[in-house]
Amino acid sequence: MHHIWPPEHAGRVIDDAELERLYTYPAAPRWLVANFVASADGAVELGGRARPLSTPPDRKVLRLGADLADVLLIGATTATVENFRGVHPDQQTRARRHRHGLARIPPTAVVSTGRSLPADAPVITQAQVPTLVLTCAAAPARTQKAWSDAGAEVVVTGDDTIDPAAAVSALLDRGLRRIDCEGGPHLFGALVAAGLLDELRLTISPMLTAGTAGRIATGPAIEPANLRLASALGEGDTLLLRYLAQQ
């Protein structure tokens, strides 16, 4: 893997230790990162899933995002489609988290109104630490009880819909300030619209897919948010970009 940007580092090879330093969360009261992979023509999924677009370098930085986070934030549909089951740390992850003074396993926070998260979803039943379900008061009481009975902690963060700011505040109230959002597009669009994004980590996968796939952010139109390119890395034909939100 090598630097492309900033110019003073262009061409320099980056080792795993430096990559970890580059992707470490800053010491800020809150840092919300969004991780996405997209094809060269902008598709956010292939055959309904993001995983087929991923490459080995993408998986390396995606893992860093989770390994160095306090919590993983994910939409219910994405968690279900991708069969997400929370973090199951191997020796490398355990050593990395210990080195950074982090909890042994980061919890997952799933955002759901109750329509697309069954109580037996792997993100709840196979997680090694209790999953947080961030929902709204309008979610059926029986659904909320089923989540709780399955082992999740249910947190109401809105009335008729989920308030992104309230959801993030609920994480911060639990000391979970390093937030790694792993999709999907509707959740990301809501976070962007609420002005909650601090950093976007975008991998450009060397594929052309055409078709009708959506893009990384979906939702109502907003005033365009400005980004600053913090780093660009390349490995093989994969491009790894980090953008910082201009607050």
Write the CATH number of the domain with boundaries 71-176: 3.40.430.10
pLDDT at 122: 96
**What are the φ/ψ torsions at residue 236 (nearest 5 degrees)?**
60, -125
3 state SS of 204? strand
What tens digit of pLDDT does each residue of 194-231 get? 999 999 999 999 999 988 888 888 888 888 889 999 99
Q: Which residue has the tokens 């709840």?
A: 124
> What is the mean pLDDT of the segment spanning 131-136?
97
Element (H, E) at 178: strand 178-181
- Give the whole-number percent of the chain exceeding pLDDT 70: 100
Indicate the pTM of the whole model. 0.93
> What is the mean pLDDT of the segment spanning 126-145?
96
> What is the mean pLDDT of the segment spanning 109-129?
95
Residue 194 structure tokens? 């609420």
Specify the long-range contacts of residues 138-144, CB closer than 8 Å, at least 24 apart.
138/113, 138/114, 139/112, 139/113, 139/114, 140/114, 143/114, 143/119, 144/114
What tens digit of pLDDT does each residue of 41-95 get? 989 888 888 888 999 999 999 999 999 999 999 999 999 998 999 999 999 999 9
| pLDDT averaged over every residue in the chain | 94
Same fold, 1-69+195-247 and 71-176: yes
Domain layout of the chain by residue ranges: 1-69+195-247, 71-176
pLDDT at 137: 96
Write the CATH number of the domain with boundaries 1-69+195-247: 3.40.430.10
pLDDT at 247: 66
